[in-house]
Amino acid sequence: MPRAQYDHPETFDDQAFAKRAGFERWENYPAVNGQMLPRKLKFLYNGTGGALTPGNVYQMIYDGDVGLNPAVQAVATQTIALPLCVAKDATPAASFGWFVTEGYCEALCDGNAVDCDKDDYLTGINAQAFFRQEAAATVRTAKTVAIYADPTAETDATPSTRLVYLLGYPVTV
């Protein structure tokens, strides 16, 4: 990291500094019960073709497009494991934005099929922008991407933004 970020943090422009896709940085999620919660962010290209909504779940993809690699797309079933991430901010189509790739963040969770409770394991869903509880909530699988960390259960048929912990490794969907 350049010293300028530490010497003058109030003038540090992270958008100007991160001019390439794939740049990573750590930050603290706002305090919960007095604790600062760490999370890893990655600067990624929006390859979905539309604007992105904060808290929605996306899939990180890799290709040969220099300057746009890695990028995000809508979650889709793959034969290989790919990382899932959560949009930190609204990101216009065909532009760059920050995405949470590991650690604490607020993400859409669906409690329609099965309620999500604290410490349940979560998975990504094909063609959906939310997490859902694993089939066996307390058993991790190759599809486990996050842990439900919100003290309030998600029981609604409409996905809601809830606190989760992204595990930060590639998964199958």
In a domain, 30, yes or no: yes
In a domain, 172, yes or no: no
Q: What is the extent of the structural domain holding 25? A: 3-166
Query: How far is 72 from 146, CA to CA, in rounded Å?
Result: 18
Maximum Cα interatomic distance, the chain, rounded to a whole number of Å: 50
In a domain, 95, yes or no: yes
In a domain, 83, yes or no: yes
pLDDT of 6: 43
Count, residues in the chain: 173
pLDDT of 3: 43
Across all residues in the chain, what is the average pLDDT? 83
In a domain, 77, yes or no: yes
In a domain, 28, yes or no: yes
- Give the model confidence (pLDDT) of 113-142 as tens digits: 778 889 899 988 888 888 888 777 778 888
How many structural domains comprise the chain? 1
